[in-house]
Amino acid sequence: MFITVVPNPALDKTVVLPGFAPGKIHRANELITLAGGKGFNFARALRTLGENGLILGPAGGFAGQQLLALATREGLQVELQEVTAELRTCLTIVDPKDNYRLTEIYERGAPLTVEEWASLVHKVNSALPQAHFMAVCGSFPPGVPEDSLAMLLRAAQNNSVPVLLDAHGPQLTEALIYAPELLKINQFEAGELLGSKVSDPSQALEAAGELRQRGARAVVISLGKTGVVGCARDGQRFGWSAPTVPALCATGSGDSLLAGIAAGLLRGQELQEAARLGVAAGAANTLILGAGRLHLADVERLLPFVQALL
């Protein structure tokens, strides 16, 4: 079983508004509502790639009920920890008349109580003995302990469950000592964590090596349209270029990248080859509106165009 922990989920709404401009009345051509948060995006893409697991996270209120209904309708297996606060809503406005320019409005997550967080951690601990992998994706809501991420990684370590980690911020520094199997971050997050600029593949490779020294067993750093670079457990370095596609929206592409990597690893691939599948999945996500949505046929079609970057 594959567990995905989503500490700060959201109800994601994508609105298509041709000619969007502030201060005017607009009527949307299209509205897409999805169970959101990085972990849901990841799990959605992973299911398309043929792998399904259990999603764990907190949610409350009417929006939380809608999130559960939407996820269930997609065929995602979800076990939510009910909380008092209303689930947050995030809005993405897409303007097809302006080269699909995005305006993104992210509501901050409402605080969780210590008891609510402890109940979620209990659910995770209960599921870990049956798990082969665990993914921890996204930010943490206010109110949770400062070592919440480390708490999850420590629980996985105690159960000998490898962790795929997609997180950033202050909690990540401490959590790396619990040796996640894979850390996936983008170039800006890597630069923030290390206190240095990461703007090209060479700098990203150096950053990946340093992050391995800080505790991560393997690291993949995404470089947007350029592609990805990584450093495997044995120190082997690699890079893949992203194929050129007529992208509509890149939201969720990093989550789809991680989903492709996870799918490859679950199939027994080495990280380098799994990352190639991840790049194809990330590119396929840009062809469809909605984070983590992709067509398997697009992934298979794009895979041969993912070429070595280094």
Yes or no: say if 9 and 58 are a contact pair by the CB < 8 Å rule: yes
Q: Which residue has the higher pLDDT, 287 or 174?
A: 287
- Paired tokens of 291: 């984070």
The helix/strand/coil state of 261 is: helix
**Domain of residue 89, residue span:** 2-19+28-305
Residue 186 confidence (pLDDT): 97
In a domain? residue 75: yes
- Paired tokens of 308: 């070595």
**Cα–Cα distance for residue pair 174/187, rounded to 1 Å:** 20
CATH of residue 42's domain is: 3.40.1190.20
Measured CA distances, 92 to 18, 250, 251, 252, 306 (Å) = 13, 11, 9, 12, 28
The phi and psi torsions of 286 (rounded to 5 degrees) equal -70, -15
In a domain? residue 230: yes
pLDDT band at 299 (very low <50, low <70, confident <90, very high): very high
- The whole-number average pLDDT for the span 9-27 is 95
In a domain? residue 310: no
- The whole-number average pLDDT for the span 115-120 is 97
**Cα–Cα distance for residue pair 113/252, rounded to 1 Å:** 29
Length of the chain: 310
Number of compact structural domains in the chain:
1
